[in-house]
Structure 1
Amino acid sequence: MTLNVLNYTSHKYVNEYIQSWRSGKIILNIDRIKLIEWLERDVLTMDGIYFDDEQIENYITFTEKYYFPLTPSQKFKVCFIFLFYDDDTLVFNEHFHYEARGAGKTGFISTLANYFISDLHGVNFYNVSVVANSEKQAKMSFTEVYNTIDMDDNLKEHFDHKKAQIEGRETRSIFQFHTSNAGTKDGLRDGCVIFEEVHRYEDSEVVDVFTSGLGKVIYDRVFYIGTDGFIRDGYIDRLKERSKNLLEGHVDVREDGLFPFMCALDDEDEMHDFDMWQKANPQFHEPMSVYAENLFRRVKKEYLKLEHEPSGFEEFITKRMNLPKVDLEKSVTSWEKIKATNQPYDLEELKRRECIGCLDYASVRDFVAMGLLFMKEDKYYVPKELTHSYVCKPFADKHYAYSRPKAEGNNKKDHRKFAPIREWEDDGLLSVIDKETMDPYMVVDWFVQRRDEGWNIKKVIGDNYRMEILKPLFETEGFEVEVIRNPDAASGLLAPKIEVSFSEERVIFGDNPLMRWYTNNVFVKRLPNGNKVYRKKEAVKRKTDGFMMFLYGMWASRDLEDESVDDVLDFLDSFEF
C-alpha cells in the first residue's frame, strides 16, 4: 500500500510492529492484517490526530518497572489507547482485545488499571472498574495490583491499597472490581470500565449498566477483553460483527471509536501447524519470552493429548486457538450454518403453497413452540412471521428473571440470563402468558388464525406426549392430525437429512434469533445402535422446543408437493376438456 507520508500520523512502536509482519518475522491472522490496512487507509491518514508520546512512554516505563516487559503487540495496542484528536478527545474510546487463552490479557488489564489511577496518568477522579462474570475472575487483576503495591515501598507512597479498593493518593482515582450482576453497581463515576470474559455475556445489559456513568470524567474508555466461548449470538458475536464492519470500511472511525485487536486462527487446519498458533496468541510471536516459551510447551502438550483424549478438542480449539468450534458429534450443526438460516423468502409466493402445521408441546409448564413449514425446491422454510412460542410466566420469572426491572439486571446467582425473553416478546416472537400451565385452546387457536389468514395447512403434526389432549381439539376444528408415536425413532431416521439440509444451507428461518437459540441448544446423542437422538444441552434453561417443532415438520414434509397452486392451475389449463 502506498501511503501519503505528508498526511500520515505514525509512532515508532506502531511502525515496528507493522514492519515485523511485513518482513515475515511474525505471522498475523486475517483480522489483524485488515486492522493494519484499515489503520493505514482510514485512521492514520486523518487530519488533526496525534499520539501522546508522553503518556505512551510513561505507561511502558511504569509497567516494565513494576510488572513485566511488554511485548511488541502490547506496545502496539497501547499506542492506540493514547491516540487523540487535536481537540483533546480520544480517537478510540472503546477497545476490543480478542485473544486466545494465555495471551496475557489479565496482566495487561492490571497494568492499565494501576496506571490510569496514578499521578503519571494525571487525571483526577479517573475511577476504574473491572467487571467479570465471577468474583474470582473479577478479583484477579485487582489482587495482582494490590500485591504489587504491597510489595513495593515506592508504590505505597503513591497508592492507598485496601482489600476492597485501591486509590491513587494524588488523583483520588479509585480502582474497584465487580461481578457482572448489574444489580450491585454502586454508582462510581468511572473514567474507565474493563469487561473481562465478554464471551459469557448473553446480551448488552451488563455493559449498558456499567457504562451508564461514563462521560462525567474526561477520556472515558471501555475495554472488552476475552477469549471466545460457547455462547453464540451473544455479546461477543456482536462485537466481532461490529469490528468486521469497521475493518471493511463500512463504518467511519469518527462514528464508531472501537479499536478491534482480534487474534484467532483463520482456519481449523492451522491448529496442526505450530507456527500458526501465533495468529491466535501474540505471545507466540518470535522472539518468545520465558513466559511465552513455557506457555507454548504447555499448549503443545495439550495438543498432543488430543490424540488420546479427543473429547478435549472443542475446548482446545475454542480457547487455545480462539476459533469457536461446535463439536458436530454433539451439536446439530455449526454456528455458522445456524446463522445461514437467515435467508430471505417471499411470503406471498409461499402462501400459494401448502404447508405443515407443526408444534412441540412437551411440557405444560414452560414452553410450547408452533410454526408452519413449507418446502420449495428442496429447501425447508419456517418463516419468522409464521412461528410463535408461548411461555408460562412463572417459568420465565424463575429461570430468566422475566419480571425483574431492567435496571436491576437479571444475572443474579441462580438467575443467569440464558435468553432475552422480554426482548423476544417485544419483537413478537413469543408471548409470555400469566398462567401456571399452558392452555391447549390457545395453541389450537393459533393454527386456526393462520388458516383463517389463508395459509393452506395440510395437516398438523406433533409428538404423542401431549397430542392426546390436542388431537380432538384440532379435529373439532377440521384439521387432519398426525401423531409421532416414537420421536427418538423419528430423530434417528431424520438426523442425516437434517444434517445435510443445514450443511447445504437449505433450512430457512429468516432473521429469527429465537429459532437460532432453539437450534443451538440441541445436544445430539449417539445411541449404541448408531442412531442419533436430540436432547437439550442444559436440562432446564436451554429450551429446544422450536427445533423439535421443526423436526416434526420435516417428518411430515414427505406429504408436501413441491409446487404452488399456480403450477397446478397452469398444468390443468394445458388440458382441453
Structure 2
Amino acid sequence: MSYVTDYLKLYDDGKVVWNKERIQLAEYVRKNILDNDELYFDERKIDNFVGFTEKWFFPLQPFQKFLASFVFLYRKADDTAFYRDFLWMMGRGAGKNGLISAISAFLISELNGVQAYDGSIVANSEDQAKTSVVEVSNVVHSHPDPLERAFYATSTLVRSRATNSVLKYRTSNGNTKDGLRDGFVIFDEIHEYHDASNVNVHISGLGKKLPPRVFYIGTDGYVRDGFIDKLKARAARVLEGKAQPDLIFPWICKIDEEDEADDPKMWEKANPMLSKPLTPYAKGLYKEIERQFNELSENPSGKEEFMTKRMDYPSQSQESSVAPWEEIAATNQPIPDNIEGRQAIGSVDFATTRDFMAAAVTVKYGDKLVTMEHQWATKVFVDRQYQYSRKDYGEAKPNQRLHIPIADWEEKGLLTIVRAPILDPKDALNWMGEMRQRFNIVEVVMDNYRASIMRAMFEEASFEVSIIRNPTAIDGLLATVIDNGFPNRRFIWGDNPLLRWNTNNVLVKIDGRGNKQYLKKEEIRRKTDGFKAFEYTLYSIDKISDQDVSGSLDMLAGLNF
C-alpha cells in the first residue's frame, strides 16, 4: 500500500501534474480501496515484483509502482483478485511495453507461484505482439546465471521452469484459437480495434486458471465509436461512481484541453514519465517530444499525430473536424415516437454511382432536428476498399485507422449492398417514397450534378425538387446551423454509426474569406455522402413546421368546397 499512498502524496504536495481522470482516480482510490477494510494489497508480492523488475529490467518510477500495486489487490473474504480488467492509457514513450514485459515475466515466475499460469500478448502486427516476449527473452539471455536456470526463453515464448507457465504472443486476427487457457491476456495497440470481436476470442479461456487478468494498454487512436471509446466510457463510469468499483482499473493520462499541448509543463499530464526529477530516459524522451512539437510550425499536418500519440488527445480542432467526437457521438439519441405525420425535408447525395449513395429526411421536433437516413454501396467498391466479402471478416485484423464494419452496418439496416456494378437512383426514390408514407415531405434537395440524373424521376413521382446551384457556397451558409447544433445536442440521428462515421470523415477548411467548406479527410475510403445528405436537408429546413400537420391535412381533404 505504501507505493499507492506515496504516489498520491506526490500530487497532494504539488510535485506532479495530473489530468482530470487521474485526479478522479485519486478520489476513487481513497474512497473505494484505501478506506475499504474488505480489501488488502499483497505487499510481499508487490515488493517481490519491484525487486525483480529493478534487479533484472529497469528502475521503476513511482507511477509504475502505483500501477503494479493494483495487480495484487485482493478481497479478504476469499483471496480473489479485486480487478480482472486494467486500462492503461498513456502518451507514446511512457514505458507501457517495458512495464508489461516485467509484469509478464513476474506473473509466470516462481515468485508469483501459480502453476501453469500462462499469458498471451496480443497486438495487430506480429512485430508489435513479439515486443515484450523478445524483451523478456533478451533479459533472460543477458543474465544466464540465474535467469536461464529459471526460464527457458526464445523469440517466440518464455517458459518458467518452476511453474511451467508460458508467455507467448498472438496476433489479433483471431485465428490462433488453440489452447486458450490463459491466466492473463495483454492487449496492445487497443486504439486499432473497431469492436470487441477479437478481444472476446482471446479471453474466452479466462477463468480456467485463477486469478484471471486482462490488461488493455495503448494510446488513443483514430478509430472512433470503436472498442477504445467503449473502454474509455466504462472507465468514466467507474471514476464517476456510476459503475461497480471493480469493473475496471481506470488509468488514463492525457492533456485536458487542446491548448495545453502548447505548454511543455502540461505534457506530463499525458506522459507520467515526464514527472520531475527526470530520469536519463525521460530527458531524452522530453527532447524528442520537444523536437516534434517544434516541427509543427513547419509541418502543421503532423499535429493530428502529435496530439493523438504524444498528448493522448485526438485532435478536436474545428479547422479539421466538423465537431469534437463526443458531440458527434451525442447524436445517438433515440428517434422520438411521435414524429409521424410531420413535415420533412428530404435529400439525396452521392459522389459517383459506383461507390456510395445516401438519402435522408429531417423533421423538426421542438428545438431538435431529427434525421433518418439510408445508404447504398456497390459490392465491388466495398469489397475492394473494405474487404466486405472476407469470410473471416468478423475476426479479421483491423486496419490501423480505417477498419470499416460494412457488414455490421448492413445487418443494422443502415446500408444496402448492391450487387450491380453501379447504383440505381431509383433505390433512393423508392426509399423516399416509403418516407412519404410517414411524413409530409415538402421538398427533396439535391445539387446540380445529382439533379441532372435524378430530378426528372423525383418530379414524376410528385416530389417538389429544390436544386442547390452552388454546393460549395451552402457550406458557409449552413455552417452556423451545424456549429450551433452539435454542441447544443440539437441533432438526433438514433443509433446510426454509419452517419457518425461519415461526419467524422469530414474535413473542415476555411477559405480566404473566412467561409467554411466541408471536404473529405481522405478522398477514397473515408466517405462523407451521409453527412452531405444530412447537410442538404438543412438547406430548406426553415420551410417546415415542428408540428404534426397530418390531422389538419386529413380534415382539409374531407371538406367539400
Above 0.5 in TM-score? yes
Selected match of 2:431 from 446, 453, 457: 446
Question: Which 10-residue stretch deviates more, 214-223 or 355-364?
Answer: 355-364
For residues 463-542 of structure 1, the aligned pairs below 5 Å read 463-526=447-510, 532-542=516-526
Cα pair 1:411 1:417 within 8 Å, conserved: no
How far apart are residue 298 of structure 1 and its match? 2.7
Cα pair 1:401 1:410 within 8 Å, conserved: no
Q: Distance in 2 between matches of 1:173 and 1:488?
A: 62
Cα pair distance change 1:371/1:266, threshold 3 Å? same
Selected match of 2:300 from 310, 314, 326: 310
Q: Distance in 2 between matches of 1:521 and 1:481?
A: 28
Letter in 1 for 2:457: L
Query: What's the counterpart of residue 427 of structure 1?
Result: 412
Q: Structure 1 runs of 4+ off > 6 angstroms?
A: 566-569
For residues 33-432 of structure 1, the aligned pairs below 5 Å read 33-86=23-76, 87-153=78-144, 154-254=146-246, 256=247, 258-343=248-333, 346-348=336-338, 350-375=339-364, 379-382=368-371, 386-405=372-391, 409-411=395-397, 418-432=403-417
The yes-or-no answer on 1:560 pairing with 2:544 is yes
Q: Distance in 1 between matches of 2:184 and 2:214?
A: 6
Letter in 1 for 2:541: S
Cα pair 2:41 2:73 within 8 Å, conserved: yes
Q: Distance in 1 between matches of 2:512 and 2:237?
A: 46
Cα pair 1:418 1:541 within 8 Å, conserved: no
Write the deviation string for residues 534-553 of structure 1: whole angstroms up to 9, x where unpaired.
33323333221110111221
SS in 1 for 2:8: helix
Question: What TM-score, normalized to structure 2?
Answer: 0.90
SS in 2 for 1:172: coil
SS in 2 for 1:43: helix
Cα pair 1:138 1:179 within 8 Å, conserved: yes
Cα pair 1:100 1:320 within 8 Å, conserved: yes
Q: Distance in 1 between matches of 2:421 and 2:83?
A: 50
Question: Which 10-residue stretch deviates more, 90-99 or 319-328?
Answer: 319-328
SS in 2 for 1:124: coil
Write the deviation string for residues 356-398 of structure 1: whole angstroms up to 9, x where unpaired.
111223333332222211246665331xxx3222333444444
Question: What TM-score, normalized to structure 1?
Answer: 0.87
SS in 1 for 2:250: strand
Query: What's the counterpart of residue 559 of structure 2?
Result: none
Write the deviation string for residues 432-477 of structure 1: whole angstroms up to 9, x where unpaired.
3444433333321111111123x01012122344444433322222
Write the deviation string for residues 68-96 of structure 1: whole angstroms up to 9, x where unpaired.
01111111111110111232321101100
Cα pair distance change 1:108/1:308, threshold 3 Å? same
SS in 2 for 1:252: coil
Letter in 1 for 2:347: C
Letter in 2 for 1:540: I
Cα pair distance change 1:440/1:306, threshold 3 Å? closer
SS in 1 for 2:205: coil
SS in 1 for 2:97: helix
Question: Which 10-residue stretch deviates more, 330-339 or 426-435?
Answer: 426-435
Cα pair 1:183 1:407 within 8 Å, conserved: no
Question: Which 10-residue stretch deviates more, 390-399 or 293-302?
Answer: 390-399
The yes-or-no answer on 1:25 pairing with 2:15 is yes
Q: Distance in 2 between matches of 1:221 and 1:465?
A: 56
Letter in 1 for 2:61: T
How far apart are residue 264 of structure 1 and its match? 1.4
Q: Distance in 1 between matches of 2:524 and 2:287?
A: 40
Write the deviation string for residues 470-503 of structure 1: whole angstroms up to 9, x where unpaired.
3332222211223335433433544454334435
Write the deviation string for residues 225-244 of structure 1: whole angstroms up to 9, x where unpaired.
01112222121111111001
SS in 1 for 2:430: helix
Write the deviation string for residues 236-262 of structure 1: whole angstroms up to 9, x where unpaired.
1111110010111111235x2x11111
SS in 2 for 1:56: helix
Letter in 1 for 2:233: E
Q: Distance in 1 between matches of 2:19 and 2:364?
A: 40
Cα pair 1:92 1:259 within 8 Å, conserved: yes
Write the deviation string for residues 311-338 of structure 1: whole angstroms up to 9, x where unpaired.
3333323222222213322222221321
Q: Distance in 1 between matches of 2:253 and 2:315?
A: 15
Letter in 1 for 2:443: K
Q: Distance in 2 between matches of 1:189 and 1:408?
A: 22
Cα pair 1:117 1:128 within 8 Å, conserved: yes
Q: Which 5+ residue runs of structure 2 have no aligned equivalent?
A: 557-561
Query: What's the counterpart of residue 5 of structure 1?
Result: none
Write the deviation string for residues 19-64 of structure 1: whole angstroms up to 9, x where unpaired.
2222222222221121121122223444532212222122111110
SS in 1 for 2:50: helix
Cα pair 2:359 2:533 within 8 Å, conserved: yes
SS in 2 for 1:155: helix
Q: Distance in 2 between matches of 1:541 and 1:271?
A: 30
How far apart are residue 343 of structure 1 and its match? 4.4
Across the aligned residues of Structure 1 and Structure 2, the Cα RMSD in angstroms comes to 2.8
Cα pair 2:344 2:442 within 8 Å, conserved: yes
Query: What's the counterpart of residue 7 of structure 1?
Result: none
Write the deviation string for residues 274-313 of structure 1: whole angstroms up to 9, x where unpaired.
3332222111222222211222233233334434443333
SS in 1 for 2:128: helix
Query: What's the counterpart of residue 534 of structure 2?
Result: 550
Question: Which 10-residue stretch deviates more, 441-450 or 221-230?
Answer: 441-450
Sequence identity percentage: 44
Q: Distance in 1 between matches of 2:474 and 2:394?
A: 44
Cα pair 1:333 1:502 within 8 Å, conserved: yes
Q: Distance in 2 between matches of 1:371 and 1:65?
A: 63
Letter in 1 for 2:525: K
Aligned length: 552
Q: Distance in 1 between matches of 2:5 and 2:513?
A: 60
